[in-house]
Amino acid sequence: MNKLRRKVYMTAGFNTVSMGSGRKEFHPKKPRPGLEDYIKEAGKGTLGKIGGAKNVDEGVIGNFMAARFNNQGNLAALIPAIDQGLQWKPCTRVEGACCSGALALMAGIKSVLAETAEVVLAVGVEVQNTVKAVYGADILSTAGWRKERKAGHAHFFPGKFSDRAGAYYAKHGKDKTRRAMARWYRNAVENARLCPTAQEHQNTQKDLEAAGMTEPDAKSFVEHLSVYDCSKVSDGASAIAIMSEEGLRRAGIAKPDSVEVVGFGQVEADLTVPPGDLARLETTARAVEAALGSAGIKAADIGTVETHDCFTIAGVMATEAIGLAKAGEGPDFVLAGETSRTGSVPFNTTGGLVGWGHPTGATGVHQAVTIWEQLTGKAGPAQIKLSPERPYGLSINMGGDDKTVVAIVYRRGA
């Protein structure tokens, strides 16, 4: 991929609360915000930081399954509901399973690169707590190949990543891998405790690693994962503004208050073909390789990562897909503390999918918001200290079983 032909920035990120079990205010039988409420809250949060809707040229929204979770389609037409100033402006809805949020970012990036927009409002949203978990699992299974569903596990995607965990155990050893997955859970919750919008912010478990080591029960769930290895059902939205240099000037935003997109990789694998190696995230590796190549940097230059840890095993395997650890050495990298908030490459500093939550269509946008916060020093209690030798951030958003992947490289605007 060639270098970007035009500078592209992101700024003014905003996250709603990631709502679901774990939040004290959540109750499955009490009224909660709806799809449009989350869209409005996130959108208004970003508009308030960029001088209002008058500065926006275009809108894009990422969402996976509102048509089934909320009986609502045509989400592009909900963008003008955020603010009357967005009425009559071009808006688009994009979908790519759990990668829908990052695809919304890519749509905005490409509009700025194409010079058809100077400012794009990108929103990601999902409201999933509208159905019982077992029905939700069936809806989410459509992120995979439909012909596998009938023969698949009742908990379809936990089953898929349980299979990946089992394959990884067989290839690289179980004991160390399970301990690394438990450490991943601990890091996720400890980071979420520092982020007020995180679903696990109020988690008070004392021994997180012991919980993470809970032995999986194949009779009640899946063979190789426990519930602590899984991201939770979540409701929420995130928004961020994607801008050109002209857009920053229009909104009165200084470059150091933004992050520049310096590279990206967008990769698709054949949904109908099973992964060749369950112990490797090949599509993720290809997306990251493209992103790093586009940015002209190496994995060693990355200072912080937001990766798609829908399950703890996916987080551990991502360290290898990025190139930070060799095949089979991801568990060592995690257990050495390298992915913790004080490690060489802090991962998922507000909790990631396991800790912050996974409102599927919002996740990719939430990742960008977290990178923007960290690189510009706006992360509050969750702020990490970045090394001048590692000034770049990386986000990885995955759809399906490593089928649709977007990786984006960022650095602070200057």
Model confidence band, residue 140 (pLDDT cutoffs 50, 70, 90): very high
Q: Under CATH, which number does the domain 1-414 receive? A: 3.40.47.10
* Tokens coding 211: 């919980």
Residue 278 pLDDT exceeds 80: yes
User: Are 83 and 47 within 8 A, CB to CB?
Assistant: yes
- In total, the chain counts a number of residues equal to 414
Q: Are 43 and 284 in contact (CB under 8 A)?
A: no
Q: Nearest to residue 267, comparing CAs of 410, 62, 404, 95?
A: 404
- What would the pLDDT profile of 369-388 be if each residue is shown by its tens digit? 999 999 999 999 999 999 99
Rounded-to-5 percentages of helix, strand, coil across the chain: 40, 20, 40
The domain locations on the chain are 1-414
Q: What pLDDT was estimated at residue 134?
A: 81
pTM of the model: 0.97
Mean pLDDT to the nearest integer, 90-103: 98
Radius of gyration of the chain from Cα atoms?
20
Do residues 345 and 302 lie in contact, with contact meaning Cβ atoms separated by under 8 Å?
A: yes
Residue 265's φ and ψ, nearest 5 degrees, are: -135, 130
CA-CA distances (angstroms) from residue 15 to 103, 390, 406? Answer: 18, 26, 20
Helix (H, G, I), strand (E, B) or coil at 236: strand
Residue 153 pLDDT class (50, 70, 90 cuts): confident
What local confidence, expressed as pLDDT, does residue 2 receive? 57
What does pLDDT average to over the chain? 96
Q: Which residues have CB under 8 Å from 385's CB, separation 6+? A: none
The answer to whether 411 touches 391, Cβ cutoff 8 Å, is: yes
Q: What is the pLDDT of residues 290-333, one digit of tens each?
A: 999 999 999 999 999 999 999 999 999 999 999 999 999 999 99
